[in-house]
Structure 1
Amino acid sequence: MSAAQETENASAEMAAEHILGDYLELLPKQRETFDIAQTRVGERASNNMPRKQAYDQHMYTHMMAQKSVDPTEVGLADTPPIIFLPAPYPPCVTPDSDLSQMYVDDLRIATHHRGKYLLLRVFAPPIRIAGIHLLVEDVHGDYLRLALYLQYPDLVESELEDVFSEGTVLLVKEPCCRLHTDETCGVRVDHVSDVEFIATDDERVPSCWKTEQKDSKTTADTLKQEGNDFVRKGMYWAARKRYTQALRISSDAIETEVIKRNLALTHIETQDFEAALKILGYPTLNSHDSSCDRALLRASQALHPLGRFEESLEVLEKYCLLYPGDDKATHRLKQARMRKIEMTTGDYDFKSMQKLAGRLEPPLMDHADYVGPVEIRESKLHGRGLFITRDVEVGELLLCEKAFCYASGKARPATLFHLEATSVSKGALAEVILRTIHKASRNPSLASRILSLHPGTYKPCEVQTSSVQPVIDSFFIEAVVNHTSYFCRPSLKLYEEEVLKRVKPSAERKDCGFWVLPSYINHSCLGNCQRSFIGDLFILRATRDLPKDTELVTPYVLGSGPGFEAQMRKTWGFTCTCPLCLYTKTLPDEFKSKETKLINSIKCYFPAGGVPASALTSVNKKIIANLLDKLEAIYRRPAKEIPRDNLAELQLAFADDYLLPTDDTRVIDYLRKSLESVGFVFKPGSSPKGFRVVEWGHHEAATVRTFIKLAEFFLVPSTEKRREDVMYFWKECAEMIYKIWVGENETFTRVYTTSTWGRPSKEESERMAQTFHKLLNMKGDDT
């Protein structure tokens, strides 16, 4: 991102914060208006403002939204959207045929008109400020303000006036009349399925509106050409409108098929994939001529993003047999075959994926979902969870899922402000909420995956489908995404910062994504699986060997104490009952005080920024070793049950930063201890490597560094293969932890090249091996 873009984004964000502050100051007035409305429930909703005055005011706001008075300032159209959400209300679940018509004059203040609908016509250009604001009228000429929120996030400004042009007819289901702060009335719609575009030839449209819109000079070919022009400009909503109109008046069979394919393209480009397949007549694809072959290619474009790769592969194979010279189709066929392999085997080219993800912004990847040995079941922890269906080994790939929706943290920040809960969803999270509502509303099969997820405390409506289109409860989706989405950064980049450079992660805004199957994973501070991210792909691997029927758990956040518990209750509505949290609650204050005192005493010898190992005297080393032993002695529960993270961190720091290579016994001892303090169990073995890992412990990304340090002691030019095998054993352990935390191990050799490792002498390496065997034998016999 360029400096200019960074400045622009920063200016936009500051403008958003400033405007949000202004709105917060107006909240008392908003609440006062709400209270007034409650006292006038059921009163007739009359507009005190004359129609002409309302129109003039609307046009002035429209002009201000199009440009800034001062070009150096952020204007209304450039300001990041700030959307104020009202108290949640259910969408209309009644089929259109069972609704009866009402008119503007029938509206009553603060009343939800169940079982009714309004038929309205747009008579002024639309305005987008957070929502889409329209002036509309009914057949009697009575006007009202109509505001559409949480809808059409992909509709670019240049298309807005075309899609909602004057004369556009809308059907608003079960409208709720709201009182504005100026005491005028209007209707706000937050559910996508509560508004429908109505064709001018629909029998519900008044004849006077049809007469005004009729144009006998317009032909299907003219409309098709206009649509083609809009497609070339990337204005797919405007093109869709032209193709739809052309389709209604086309009388030529071949022309009709061409228009259908073009119309299907506009639906694909606006993520309306299932509608595109319906337009094409998939799966039959009946046609009057060979243009059916071309429809196969278009169908594959809609099937691919729906994750229906086997069907996409089938239609592409048919098409490529007919047109073997079509290079684009051949490339798509290759991609579909790769996606099928990924979907069925979990075999991904992770190395290429890492390179591509590093170049894309946002990093949206074309890859299939892989569902390994996991399934959803009822959980003893909370609701439903994700369980493994067979024994799995440490590092095994359990799941790889492409984000349902994903937004970059560098994107222009949006804000959703919940008036009732006084909570805020900002930036990438707000963008993911908007995009998820949009995508789910257009693809019923995808929406069905979300409807079974947990929305926290929100109570969704019981009926989720109607006879015409899926019912989309925007507040339900907002609650689900808020409850289950992940803020994320590329795992490889995070690893390089935290482990290799040993610095705090950069303060750049995080990306955010929403994944469906991972949403079922329950929380435990002592997780048994680890998530990682490559682009918008969520990767899940086992952190230890797990027996069949184990529930997968992972920490949502890390922490302890009253503040941590309060955060868990506020965000997810429960208190963690994992063994670590239960154990922590039972610790007496005397133990906590003693632990804190010992930790602080040890840290006194580890200055901020570190000191050269040679500067640490032998006396200080003995003092540190003695304090570490005392700290280790106060713990009673086995480390494989309750990890001792603070102790492990200090032991590793002592071995890694403050002991010289000549302190070989201490180095190897404290490296081992740091691993055992988080639950690793090593046993002597009969293999050439001499030992093995029995328990993998509760590791973290930095654990790789510990294993690399061990491997360095055996990295010597030696003809004795056993020493090389020992080195490779520790390297394999490091590579395993790396794979779990980064998501793959194909970049391990790039990150860790042997040329960067220290090279002790052959004698030192031999002495280290003997020392480690001796220490292992002191811990117990092979089992």
Structure 2
Amino acid sequence: MATPQNSNTIYLTEQEAERIRSTVKERIRKCSEQNGNAKEPRDKTAAHQQATGAALMADMGGAPDPDMTQTQGKGANTIPAIEVGQPYPPCTASLSELESMEMADLRMETHHRGRKLVVKRESPVVTLVARSWTVVQGENGSDTERLEICLYKSRHGEDILESAKLFIIKEPYFTLTDQGEPTLRIDHPSDLVICHEEANKYDDAAAAEKAATRYKTQGNMALKQQDLPLAHEKYTAGLAIARQAIVSDSNPDLARDIARNRAYVNLLLGQLDEVKTDARASLVGRDDQKSKDLDSKAYYRAGSAAYQQGRYQEAKRSFQDQQKLTPEDKDAKIQLKRIEARLREEDTGSYDFTKIRTGLSRARPYVDAADFIKNTEIKSSSGKGRGLFATRDIAAGELIMCEKGFCVVWGHEEEALTAMTYDVRDERIRFSPVGLSKALVQKLLSNPSQIEPVMHLYGDYTGDNKNIFINDDGAIVDVFRIHDIMSRNGYGPGSQFGEEESAQNASTGLWIHAAYINHSCVPNARKECIGDIMLLHATRPIKTGDEIFHAYDETLDYDARQKALLTTWGFECKCGLCAAEKADGKPVRDSRMELADEADAFVDKTPWAGAKRLGIRKAQRLAKAIDETYDQERWKDLPRKHGEGIRAWLLKASPR
């Protein structure tokens, strides 16, 4: 790794790196040795005391976090160290398809496929950076065990284990912690079902309506206090009762009212699929003004959700329906005007980039803009899987595409989190923006309709090939696939707001369409980010049917570039430029890099304006020496980038 003088580099001492490797390998060894062993009884009192003490120490900041590791470099401190590379698929069966089991039936290093386990939280939750854990009892209270959620441990800003007392674990995974302690481990959030208060069945209409109204009132109070998860929980319970025939037959508007309220809460929570479902369910359809006003609200919420998903034609229809009901409503007119602007962007690629740049700030880094991708299509690329190809001729300098980030986490945001990941598949330690993978998982859990396009992207781990993304219990997200997809397809939008960006607080994002662009060291396109939109411009003419390339890594040093491409993106580049450099051999490459470094140092310290003849001669000698390292036949028609800086200096200093 680079030296600590590089402010953008965080690195581990060899001792820390070895500690991470040995910890992971030792856990794997112990798990293998105990594979299939029966669960041993755990002392309830001792387990509860251990969790209570650990939770208190964690809250006070006095307990060492076993996941944290010491790093070095500018601004470095401790960051989580996380094992990756031992993936397993999430449970795709619904609860009704699973067979109940007891805690005593648990077997070590087993996923207990086809089974479910009901547990009750019996201790405080120990909240650490990369995981949370607590002590739980079985449904009958006869046994106790540790339960932990790794990395994806919160939902809507609330720790999942603290959000309820009763849980159902789908296909429970019983394994060991890094410290060798038995634990029930949750990696996929969809494998843990939170048991909220269930709606009772009623025989008396008045009692049922009273109960549904009570839940509605509780939801209203929670919304007023901005406790959105609680408001959603209460509205959901009330809606289940209000939809029972005994209530819906006599008072159908109660279910509509609760659905309309829940649509608003879902909009605030970013659960956009459910916003539209609730909004449609709340429609009254009567001609009196009060009903029209209520339906106007529903259409507004549905339109807002579709707009946030980038589905502008769908949003347009909802706002037009709203406008028909309430013609004087200014909000619908404003939204329709915004939609027309987005539709023009989609169709023509015409953007007001000056206005967009002016509106950006650290507090407002997200752009209100549509995707312009009609110049491109995704097709098979020889030797590269899939790639992005031009659907028409594109001139040099022309905008190829513009795409809004599907999910972007800025380095200054609370969601940003970086970690050292040790991948057991290749035994490499990497610096990984796991805050982005967490944000992706949260967004997909909230919007199941968006899971499939993300899962179509390339990743080293492809899952169980079932591609089941939703069932009766909700969305199903394979977090291991998300991690690998993020690792191979994520980009950095760069520092745009004056902050000093380092490896530890780098901004990262995922652009789904742009993720199909393959790499070349001799690209025909360059990317640029403005806020969370990515622009791709042609650097030379591109013909219809040509594949579009940009450079993932532009390092001049061939060996460093190949290492970066292999470590980060998992491939060796064999483009024409790399083939020529490889054929040159390492001694020639090293000599060329030394000369290029000398030339760069000369350019940095020697102004071209008013350059003396002696300086110009030195520059000419450096340019010639660099050029002589290129084999003229091998490098025919290839860019000679190492001498670009000194040649540009010479053109300005001695234009003749």
TM-score when normalising by structure 2: 0.82
Distance in structure 1 (CA, Å) of the matches to 2:214 and 2:319: 32
Conserved 8 A contact 1:529-1:543: yes
2:136 alignment partner in structure 1: 136
* CA–CA distance in structure 2, aligned partners of residues 602 and 402 of structure 1: 39
- Output the amino acid matched with 1:436: L
Structure 1 residue corresponding to 2:40, chosen from 39, 46, 52: 46
The answer to whether residue 145 in structure 2 is matched with residue 149 in structure 1 is no
Listed one character per residue, the Cα deviations across residues 647-681 of structure 1 (whole Å, up to 9, x for unaligned) are 3321211233xx3xxxxxx41x4xxxxxxxxxxxx
- The structure 2 residue matched to 1:513, chosen from 497, 509, 522, is 509
Aligned to 1:543: 539
Q: Of residues 507, 530, 533 in structure 1, which corresponds to 2:529? A: 533
Q: Deviations over 1:317-344 (max 9, x none)?
A: 2212322443444333322222222222
Give the 3 Å change call, closer, same or farther, for CA 122–40 of structure 1 in structure 2.
same
Deviation of 1:98 after TM superposition, in Å, equals 3.0
Match among 21, 34, 37 for residue 31 of structure 2: 37
> Aligned AA for 1:151?
Y
Change (3 A) 1:653 1:60: same
Distance 1:286 1:173, change over 3 A: farther
Instruction: Note the alpha carbon deviations across 1:98-138, whole angstroms, 9 max, x for none.
Output: 32111211111111211111123334444432334343333
SS in 1 for 2:639: coil
Task: For 2:100 and 2:503, locate their aligned partners in 1 and report how far apart those are by CA, in whole Å.
Answer: 54
Tell which structure's C-alpha radius of gyration is larger: 1
* 1:227-246 deviations in Å (ceiling 9; x for gaps): 23333443311221121222
Aligned pair partner of 1:186 in 183, 187, 193: 183
State how far apart, in whole Å, the 1-side matches of 2:497 and 2:156 are: 34
Name the structure 1 match of 2:560.
Answer: 563
Tell me how far apart the structure 1 counterparts of residues 61 and 501 of structure 2 sit (CA, whole Å).
37
Moved more, 111-120 or 84-93: 84-93
Q: Deviations over 1:284-313 (max 9, x none)?
A: 946675433321111112212221111111
**Aligned-partner residue type, residue 60 of structure 1:** G
User: Which segment is superposed worse, 477-486 or 396-405?
Assistant: 396-405
Determine what percentage of the aligned residue pairs are the same residue.
24
> Counterpart of 1:279?
278
Q: Indicate yes or no: 2:556 matched with 1:553.
A: no
1:489 paired with 2:494, answer yes
When residues 360 and 329 of structure 1 are mapped into structure 2, their CA distance, relative to the original with a 3 A threshold, is farther
| Pairing 1:257-268 to 2, within 5 Å after superposition | 257-268=256-267
Q: Does 1:196 align with 2:200?
A: no
The amino acid of 2:258's aligned partner reads I
SS in 2 for 1:370: coil
Pair 576,317 (structure 1): closer, same or farther in 2 beyond 3 Å: same
User: 2:362·2:497 contact (CA, 8 Å) conserved in 1?
Assistant: no
Contact 2:83–2:424 (8 Å) recurs in 1: no
1:244 equivalenced with 2:236 (yes/no) = yes
Which letter maps to 2:446? Answer: R
Contact 2:320 2:332 in 1 (8 A): no
Instruction: String of CA shifts for 1:573-629, please: whole Å, max 9, x gaps.
Output: 22211111112223367866886787688679x375225744614x55456446646
SS of corresponding position for 2:605: coil
What secondary structure, in the 3-state scheme, does the structure 2 residue paired with 1:586 have? helix
The equivalent of 2:483 in structure 1 is: 478
- Match in the other structure for 1:753: none
Structure with more of its chain in helix, by fraction = 1
Instruction: Specify the alignment match of 2:75 in structure 1.
Output: none
Give the Cα–Cα distance (whole angstroms) in 1 for the partners of residues 217 and 304 of structure 2. Answer: 22
Contact 1:120 1:171 in 2 (8 A): yes
Q: How does 1:174-573 map to 2 (within 5 A)?
A: 174-180=171-177, 184-198=181-195, 200-201=197-198, 219-250=211-242, 251=247, 252-281=251-280, 285=283, 289-290=291-292, 291-357=294-360, 359-361=361-363, 363-411=365-413, 413-415=417-419, 417-418=421-422, 420=424, 423=428, 426=431, 429-456=433-460, 458-465=461-468, 467-468=471-472, 469-489=474-494, 509-559=505-555, 560-573=557-570
SS in 1 for 2:221: helix
Contact 2:441–2:479 (Cα < 8 Å) also in 1: yes
**Conserved? CA contact 2:173–2:185, under 8 Å:** yes
| Contact 1:401/1:537 (<8 A) preserved | yes
Q: What is the distance in 2 between the residues matched to 1:178 and 1:236?
A: 34
Pairing 1:582–2:579 present: yes
TM-score (norm 1): 0.69
- Alignment partners' CA distance in 1, 2:186 and 2:196: 20
Relative to structure 1, the CA distance from residue 444 to residue 506 in structure 2 (aligned partners, 3 Å threshold; closer, same or farther) is closer
Cross-structure match for 1:112? 111
Counterparts of 1:492 and 1:182 in 2: how far apart (Å)?
42
Cα 1:596–1:243 shift into 2, 3 Å: closer
User: Matches of 1:152 and 1:176 in 2, distance apart?
Assistant: 16
Q: 5+ residue gaps in structure 2?
A: 1-7, 69-77
CA distance, structure 2, for counterparts of residue 564 and residue 223 of structure 1:
60
| Aligned match of 1:64 | 57
Change (3 A) 1:426 1:90: same
Query: Following the alignment from structure 2 to structure 1, what is the Cα–Cα distance between the partners of residues 430 and 596?
Result: 38
Contact residue 418 and residue 505 of structure 2 kept, 8 A: no
Q: Secondary structure at 2:90's aligned position in 1?
A: coil
**Does the 8 Å contact 1:126/1:160 carry over to 2?**
no
Checking the alignment, whether the CA contact within 8 Å between 2:228 and 2:269 is kept in structure 1 is yes
Whole-Å separation in 1 of the counterparts to 2:387 and 2:611 = 52
Rounded to whole Å, the distance in 2 between the matches of 1:641 and 1:432 is 40
Aligned partners of 1:537 and 1:569: how far apart in 2?
Answer: 27
- Kindly tell me the number of residue pairs found equivalent between the two proteins: 611
Query: Aligned pair in 2 of structure 1 residues 143, 276: CA closer, same or farther (>3 Å)?
Result: farther
Question: Is the CA contact (8 Å cut-off) linking 2:558 and 2:589 kept in structure 1?
Answer: no
2:640 to 630, 636, 644: 644
